[in-house]
């Protein structure tokens, strides 16, 4: 909790609405392929373009994914729910309504447990409902936003992609808790394999509802919805900013306007987007083209039995296996649990393997904007790399270069080390020649070591490392130099 949150007499009340784009092969109500990077409007048909007479057919896999997420969030799977039409006009929605769920969702009343600052908080999940995505509008002009655009283009490839909306209860009390919630929800989605959940690219999207109330009271204050939060960091910054803004407003005038606000990442502020629509503005009614959703109990039981290990259980298991809590949390949150498990199964010590994943692999994938879980590193390659460092074939520095080659698809660690010529030189005769050359080149340093200044040995080790382009085994070089200079001096 920040100093500001603590210092004021207001308690933040935060709820999140998170949209998850499902990675099914086809759209929610038609057979159009979900394939990114296609020409605009090439993945469309009469159904997702809303042409008269076309009929939607629900995607069973998308319903399965909704149930799986609901089960992972400890929700009740509702035995009878319906699709509704949410009516409004916008050019990216050719039917002029979005198919969504209204009074009853497929999954309701769940919860999610978070650990924030060593405290466990239980956050209620109000519901998980199914809907379809809209098309994508590109505003052409200097601002990139609809205001001030010269014209706008619409791509319907995204129209009809299945979405799940996960609505939390307003149980979050700080920016840090909101961030922990989004991180955990994303880790669950990744563990289930139902979406690639990329916040930056929009396959997972987060809106935050933020209000304040006097501490010690229970009635809700007027809430503001913040849009455009496309990273966990943005969510934290936007919520912290909004708490500060509302605190100032309440102190000055006591009035908050209910509205939707836009988060400006560069300016670090929120600004008014539009007055908040009320639910009755959308004229919801049951979609007469679609039958009710009534998942068979046996199917739900099968899906329950089939749930994979979820992040909380994975963290607990890794900690019990000797991994420290922070690393366990990072490995799980970034979806690298399977790589780590495979590396350990192939013989790598869990701590060493996790260190390479959280330091090097994570850095490598972040730099390239790739999901760490999708970098194409196998557990056996990671185990081989760790083993080559442990047995002195590679120094840590050379290990990084080898990893770089492995991640670039150049082969196994042994192949990369060999083709790039990166093996550490541990051959005694070769090292002895390099050590002798270094002593001959730096007689002053050698003399100081002989005279008892053992720190001066560093300059000679450095010279050998430089001459070998980092490939000499530093421990052996040190040993050889000591044998030459210190033990000789003692003997003499």
Asked if residue 30 binds Zn ion (CB under 5 A), the reply is: yes
Give the tokens for residue 233.
Answer: 């960091």
Which secondary structure element, helix H or strand E, spans residue 475, and what is its range? Answer: helix 474-482
* Least gap, CB of 324 to Zn ion (angstroms): 48
Q: 245's torsion region: left (phi>0), alpha (psi -120 to 50) or beta?
A: alpha
Stretch that binds Zn ion, among 28-36, 54-62, 82-90, 187-195 (CB under 5 A): 28-36
Asked if residue 73 binds Zn ion (CB under 5 A), the reply is: no
Asked if residue 388 binds Zn ion (CB under 5 A), the reply is: no
* Least gap, CB of 54 to Zn ion (angstroms): 9
Stretch that binds Zn ion, among 26-34, 183-191, 408-416, 442-450 (CB under 5 A): 26-34
Q: 479: burial class by Cβ within 10 Å (0-12, 13-18, 19+)? A: middle
Q: Which is nearer to Zn ion, 133 or 352 (CB)?
A: 133
Contact indicator for 372, 365 with CB cutoff of 8 Å: yes
Binding test (CB under 5 A) with Zn ion, winner from 16, 18, 20, 32: 32
Residue 207 pairs in a beta bridge with: 17
Q: Which is nearer to Zn ion, 158 or 315 (CB)?
A: 158
CA 451/CA 459 separation, integer angstroms: 15
Q: Which is nearer to Zn ion, 32 or 232 (CB)?
A: 32
* Least gap, CB of 27 to Zn ion (angstroms): 5
User: Which residue has 């669950």 as its token pair?
Assistant: 188
User: Which residue has 């690393």 as its token pair?
Assistant: 327
- Number of residues engaging Zn ion in binding (CB under 5 A): 5
* Least gap, CB of 29 to Zn ion (angstroms): 8
C-alpha distance from residue 243 to each of 223, 263, 324, 395 (Å): 11, 13, 33, 49
**Looking at the chain, how many residues does it have?**
492
Asked if residue 45 binds Zn ion (CB under 5 A), the reply is: yes
Stretch that binds Zn ion, among 2-10, 22-30, 137-145, 411-419 (CB under 5 A): 22-30
CA 393/CA 399 separation, integer angstroms: 9
Q: Which is nearer to Zn ion, 85 or 223 (CB)?
A: 85
Burial string for 205-217 (b: 16+ CB within 10 Å, else e) reads: bbbbbbbbbeeee
Which secondary structure element, helix H or strand E, spans residue 341, and what is its range? Answer: helix 337-345
Half-sphere exposure of 347 (CA within 13 A, CB side): 9
The binding track of 404-443 with respect to Zn ion, each residue x by CB under 5 A or -, is: ----------------------------------------
The binding track of 437-466 with respect to Zn ion, each residue x by CB under 5 A or -, is: ------------------------------
Binding test (CB under 5 A) with Zn ion, winner from 13, 48, 344, 434: 48
* Least gap, CB of 66 to Zn ion (angstroms): 20
Contact indicator for 351, 323 with CB cutoff of 8 Å: yes
* Least gap, CB of 102 to Zn ion (angstroms): 23
CA 361/CA 351 separation, integer angstroms: 14
Q: Which is nearer to Zn ion, 30 or 377 (CB)?
A: 30
Q: Which is nearer to Zn ion, 156 or 181 (CB)?
A: 156
Asked if residue 77 binds Zn ion (CB under 5 A), the reply is: no
Stretch that binds Zn ion, among 29-37, 78-86, 409-417, 446-454 (CB under 5 A): 29-37
Q: 10: burial class by Cβ within 10 Å (0-12, 13-18, 19+)? A: buried
Interaction site with Zn ion (CB under 5 A)? 30, 32, 45, 47-48
């Amino acid at each position: 909790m920040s100093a500001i949150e603590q210092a004021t007499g207001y308690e933040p009340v935060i709820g999140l609405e998170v949209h998850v784009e499902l990675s099914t092969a086809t759209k929610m109500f038609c057979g159009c392929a979900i394939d990114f990077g296609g020409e605009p409007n090439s993945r469309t048909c009469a159904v997702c373009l809303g042409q008269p007479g076309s009929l939607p057919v629900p995607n069973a896999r998308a319903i399965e994914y909704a149930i799986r997420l609901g089960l992972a969030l400890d929700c009740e799977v509702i035995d009878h729910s319906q699709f509704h039409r949410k009516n409004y006009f916008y050019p990216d929605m050719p039917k002029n309504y979005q198919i969504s769920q209204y009074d009853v969702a497929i999954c309701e009343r769940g919860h999610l447990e978070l650990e924030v600052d060593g405290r466990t908080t239980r956050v209620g999940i109000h519901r998980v409902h199914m809907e379809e995505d809209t098309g994508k509008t590109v505003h052409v002009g200097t601002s990139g936003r609809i205001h001030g655009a010269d014209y706008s283009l619409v791509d319907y490839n995204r129209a009809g992609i299945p979405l799940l909306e996960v609505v939390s209860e307003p149980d979050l009390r700080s920016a840090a808790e909101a961030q922990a919630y989004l991180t955990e929800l994303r880790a669950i989605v990744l563990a289930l394999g139902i979406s690639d959940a990329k916040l930056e690219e929009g396959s997972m999207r987060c809106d935050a509802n933020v209000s304040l109330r006097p501490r010690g009271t229970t009635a809700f204050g007027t809430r503001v919805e913040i849009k455009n939060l496309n990273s966990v960091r943005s969510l934290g910054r936007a919520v912290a900013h909004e708490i500060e803004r509302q605190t100032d407003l309440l102190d000055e005038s006591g009035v908050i306007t209910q509205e939707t606000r836009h988060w400006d990442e560069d300016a670090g502020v929120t600004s008014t987007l539009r007055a908040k629509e009320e639910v009755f503005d959308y004229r919801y009614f049951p979609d007469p083209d679609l039958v009710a959703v009534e998942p068979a109990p046996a199917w739900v039981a099968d899906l329950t039995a089939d749930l994979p290990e979820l992040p909380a259980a994975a963290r607990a298991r890794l900690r019990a296996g000797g991994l420290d809590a922070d690393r366990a949390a990072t490995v799980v949150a970034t979806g690298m649990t399977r790589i780590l498990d495979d590396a350990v199964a192939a013989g790598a010590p869990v701590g060493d393997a996790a260190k390479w994943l959280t330091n090097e692999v994570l850095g490598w994938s972040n730099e390239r904007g790739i999901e760490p879980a999708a970098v194409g590193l196998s557990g056996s390659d990671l185990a081989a790399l760790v083993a080559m460092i442990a047995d002195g074939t590679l120094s840590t520095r050379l290990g990084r270069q080898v990893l770089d080659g492995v991640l670039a698809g150049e082969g196994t660690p042994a192949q990369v080390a060999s083709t790039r010529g990166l093996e550490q030189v541990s051959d005694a005769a070769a090292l002895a020649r390099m050590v002798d050359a270094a002593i001959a080149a730096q007689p002053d340093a050698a003399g100081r070591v002989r005279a008892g200044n053992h720190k001066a040995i560093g300059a000679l080790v450095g010279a050998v490392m430089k001459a070998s382009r980092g490939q000499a085994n530093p421990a052996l070089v040190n040993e050889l130099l000591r044998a030459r200079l210190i033990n000789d001096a003692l003997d003499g």
